[in-house]
Structure 1
Amino acid sequence: AIKDAGVDIVSTANNHSLDKREKGLLTSLTNLDQLGIPSVGTYSSAEDQQTLTIMEKNGIKVAYLSYTYGTNGMPIPEGKDYLVNLINKEAMKNEIHRAREAADLTVMSIHWGNEYQRFPTEEQEELAQFLVDE
């Protein structure tokens, strides 16, 4: 259905990324891959995590990045930090800089916020400014 709806890419880093543990995350990635829909934010290997997702349209290269604030307390399996991108300024800075070298534009998808809160927190505003500055 998502392919038929015209979805071209999916940001998968969110607080539900590990709801069905590693197996569920990997199944989601496999299903998207079988549909030919790229995803960003969760990965099946450290190598995949280090590979930028870049899509090109009309000669314009767009890099897509994705991070989340957490996984609802679901632990990331030991030694598999690559499974989901958690908000981390240094990691984000490095990836933004790599994306700027490889693409014309960079899109950053951040899964954050406090449920039912309509306005950003001071911390979110500071992080948003940090990302724009990078």
Structure 2
Amino acid sequence: MRMPYRVVGGTLVAALLAQLAGCGTLFWPERRGQIEGRVDPVIAVLDAIGLLFYIIPGVIAFGVDIATGAIYLPGGTHAQVDPATLRPAVQPDGTVNRARLQAILQQQLGRHLPLDDPRLIEHRGSPEQLAAYGLVPAA
């Protein structure tokens, strides 16, 4: 009589652990912050497995992966811009003029980057990084 309970319990635990590990945010944290791209089928299938077992964990997994951008495949292209060309976008108080930055990036990279997208994750620089470029940190 205890054997069926152990099998059911073991299957349930395995399903929940597979769902926990099925989140793309846990597998590829470096993908967070992507705004758009092609959907990674592996992550989509792993998130969909959660829908098969329980609706709520599957919906949460899809929501987290889409909100963080971890469900999207990396673009495969990298672009580098010389910091000296970005200097006109930085105002004397250390703030960034987004419109000017977007125009510089579009000119240098040949791509339109949506800097006003609400899903964009912005990282602040340290005072040491600003000092290296001759800028005074704003309080």
Q: Which has the larger radius of gyration?
A: 2
TM band (smaller chain) = under 0.3
Give me the TM-score of the superposition, normalised by structure 2. Answer: 0.25
Higher helix share: 2
| TM-score (normalizing by structure 1) | 0.25
